[in-house]
Amino acid sequence: MKFTDILSKEKWEEFEKALFDRFHINCTVYDNSGQGITGKPRWCNRLCPEIKANKDSLAAICATGNQHFMAQAKQTCKAVIDECDAGLTKIAVPIFVDGEFLGTAGGCGLLPAGGEVQAFLLEKTMGLSETQILELCEGLGTMTQDEAEKMAAYIEKRTAQFVDDYLRMDL
């Protein structure tokens, strides 16, 4: 089973956009191999697209973080809210259908309230100066733990509705 059995790729893209519009955070639905299913990122900051455009920082920060969050969400069957190695909020909500783990839906890219970007790690993995990193971080939004929990709950509710609708159609 895959996500497009439940909703079309276009409907998942609409869901990602709705999440972005509502929570102002980078939102992606990832399949169980860690690949984004729509390939249509919307960026809430200038830093994240630069991290993802650099193969070293992509591998060191985004890919490993996504694998870790996905494994934890799959194992616990619960939403995972924490920071990525860059110091930004990351949310991963697991999606299961009849016990089968399909992947996660969530977001990343806002600074936790009171948190700070891990500039040294970014400098080393991206090959940029501290000044360049700080410029990319200008205007970086924040997200409180309460806001992250509300986002996770919203994603859980909506994806459960998608799965329930799919299972009812399959009767």
Q: Mind listing the pLDDT tens digit for each residue in 3-47?
A: 999 999 999 999 999 999 999 999 999 999 999 999 888 999 999
Alpha-carbon distance 108 to 23, whole Å? 10
Higher pLDDT, 107 or 171: 107
The pLDDT-based confidence of 170 (bands split at 50, 70, 90) is: low
| pLDDT tens track for 98-134 | 999 999 999 999 999 999 999 999 999 999 999 999 9
Query: Locate tokens 């985004």: which residue?
Result: 62
Q: How many CA atoms lie within 13 A of 110 on its CB side?
A: 23
What is the rounded distance in angstroms from the CA atom of residue 82 to the CA atom of residue 87?
Answer: 9
Sign of CA dihedral 96, 149, 141, 57: negative
Coil, strand, or helix at residue 143?
strand
How confident is the model at residue 39, as a pLDDT?
Answer: 87
Q: Is the pLDDT of residue 66 over 70?
A: yes
Around Cβ 28, how many Cβ atoms within 10 Å? 24
- The Cα–Cα gap between 102 and 16 comes to 16
This prediction has a pTM of 0.94
Tokens of 86: 């860059």
